[in-house]
Structure 1
Amino acid sequence: MIFKAIISSRTYWLVAGLIICNSIAVDTSAQDNARFVRWMYQDAAGLVLQVNARTPLLIAGASASLAALSPADPRVLGGVQTGYRGGFANYLNTANRLGDPEIKYPVLSIFAVSLFTNNDRFQDASFTSTQSLLYASLITMTLKTAFGRARPESGYDEQAFSPFSGRTSFPSGHTTSAFAIVTPWVMYYPGPVTYSLFALSTGTAVARIARDKHWPTDVVAGAAIGFFTARFLSHRHQEERGLRSPRLRVSPEIGFASSGILFVYRIG
């Protein structure tokens, strides 16, 4: 038990150290940290109010794709579990920890460290990673409750859905967390080091299948929620900083004297 705890701790802090070393020496210009408080409430509303004509089509397409892939879940599950041994199993066991609840401690620690630097990009990336973990996890927890899908280890088949039954297989929370944490670092620091972190988050997804915790479509949905939530938040923050230019943006504006909704449209 003690040995496993040491391995777990080293895994978390190795990822944290890799991110800090890749980020901390870049671009130093201080900015008011109050932006993080503002982003928390504006982004929550923005997730709901953001106008995008493609969004309903994307959701419908994703749902149809998952429904079509669901019958293949048992076959893919069996194939992954057959290969779950040796060095590959060790890799998956390590990657699985990226989705553990304890991962929040190094994620929060990286953000705390960033506040002692003058590196705005490092601060923004670490905050967005933390925020993405929170928001994506809330989305996944809501969907888990609504769908009530049984886990493979329960003995039920892949079609066992019972809304609000307490079953929590769909989507995968571990996979959601792994992709939500990593994606902002790729968005802010694109390059071989950050791209390689996707190997860990993908390993988390495969590990959940190998351990009989989730059906393959569970982890696909979890990866999509984690990735796209983090991508949305990263783009939103980068647009505000002038690093991206949005076509159409809708966001709440709340102040002491007035409040409303701001519409911004980019021509060209």
Structure 2
Amino acid sequence: MSAMERVSKSLKFIIIYVALFSGMNSLFAQTKYVESHLKPTFTDGWDTGGLLILGTGTVLGIAAHQYDDKVKRWFNKESRLGSGLTDFGNSFGTRYVNIVAAGIQMIWDRSNGLSHLEGLLGTNLMVFIMKKSIHRTRPNGENEDSFPSGHTSTAFASSGSLSYAYGWKAAIPAYTLTTLTLLARLEDNKHWLSDLVVATSIGVFWARSSGIHHHYLTPLIFNEGGGIQFSAPF
């Protein structure tokens, strides 16, 4: 894949996000959606808890770096998952699958669906910037988009968002599938172990950042009056 093709592919998901959020911004203009929801996603997460997540991911990523070659050789010896599970794990981590999932979620749970979509937006923007800045070569030599793993960070962002919204009932199956995505990236020789460790922290960070302001007391203003809505993960 040429550099131009990679850039074109990366820009596609940005266009999708812009289209989705442009429509939602118009839809929620009366409730100041951008100010009360989208903006906090990109600002509230940089607190002590958020920085601890990213810091821990960085430290663990540095520690994992010394095992990159060893893990690569172990997975290259023979198939550990099989083609079926590998393909499924790769599919679960694609940004397009997760965008569609968040869109469907919005149909029956608008608030948490928005949180999910916001988390995916933050995750993929950060990953895009890091990939284009760091240029780490993949283990298979395919290109220089290895660090961090977009599939892994996206899967963890989705799993985290679903966990914030619905608790352990969603967390168990979601994180099981996310682990499969992580292993599939190693199985396919697409990423180094350290790529995945750092990507995990990125996904968790943005899931938290998009979720924390959706789960507190929220003022509601209507033409007829007002009120307060409370929501929290369970």
- TM-score normalised per structure 1: 0.63
Alignment partner of 1:204 is 2:165: no
Task: Look up the match of 1:42.
Answer: 40
* CA contact 1:111–1:130 (8 Å) conserved in 2: no
Shift of 1:42: 3.1
Tell me the alpha carbon deviations over residues 91-137 of structure 1, each in whole angstroms, 9 at most, x when there is no partner.
222121012242145224314413xxxxxxx3222111111111111
Task: Look up the match of 2:5.
Answer: none
Shift of 1:243: 4.3
Letter in 2 for 1:95: G
Shift of 1:233: 1.8
Distance across 2 between alignment mates of 1:104 and 1:75 = 31
Distance across 2 between alignment mates of 1:65 and 1:135 = 22
Distance across 1 between alignment mates of 2:193 and 2:212 = 28
* CA contact 2:123–2:203 (8 Å) conserved in 1: yes
Distance across 2 between alignment mates of 1:243 and 1:201 = 26
Task: Look up the match of 1:119.
Answer: none
Distance across 2 between alignment mates of 1:234 and 1:58 = 15
Structure 2 residues not aligned, in runs of 5+: 1-27, 219-229
Task: Look up the match of 1:176.
Answer: 153
Q: Secondary structure at the match of 2:44?
A: helix
Residues 39-78 of structure 1: pairs in structure 2 closer than 5 A: 39-47=37-45, 50-52=46-48, 59-78=54-73
Residues 69-108 of structure 1: pairs in structure 2 closer than 5 A: 69-84=64-79, 88-108=82-102
Distance across 2 between alignment mates of 1:55 and 1:228 = 6
Distance across 1 between alignment mates of 2:106 and 2:54 = 35
- TM-score normalised per structure 2: 0.71
Q: Which has the higher helix share?
A: 2
* CA contact 1:80–1:206 (8 Å) conserved in 2: no
Distance across 2 between alignment mates of 1:193 and 1:56 = 25
Alignment partner of 1:153 is 2:170: no
For residue 140 of structure 1, the aligned residue among 116, 124, 127 is 127
Shift of 1:36: 4.2
Larger deviation, residues 170-179 vs 192-201: 192-201
Distance across 2 between alignment mates of 1:192 and 1:108 = 17
Summarize the Cα distance change of 1:142–1:65 in structure 2 as closer, same or farther, 3 Å threshold.
same
* CA contact 1:140–1:172 (8 Å) conserved in 2: yes
Higher-RCO chain (CA-CA 8 Å, sequence separation at least 6): 2
Alignment partner of 1:128 is 2:115: yes
Structure 1 residues not aligned, in runs of 5+: 1-30, 115-121, 156-165, 245-268
Letter in 1 for 2:39: Y
For residue 223 of structure 1, the aligned residue among 200, 213, 216 is 200
Shift of 1:76: 1.1
Distance across 2 between alignment mates of 1:40 and 1:68 = 34
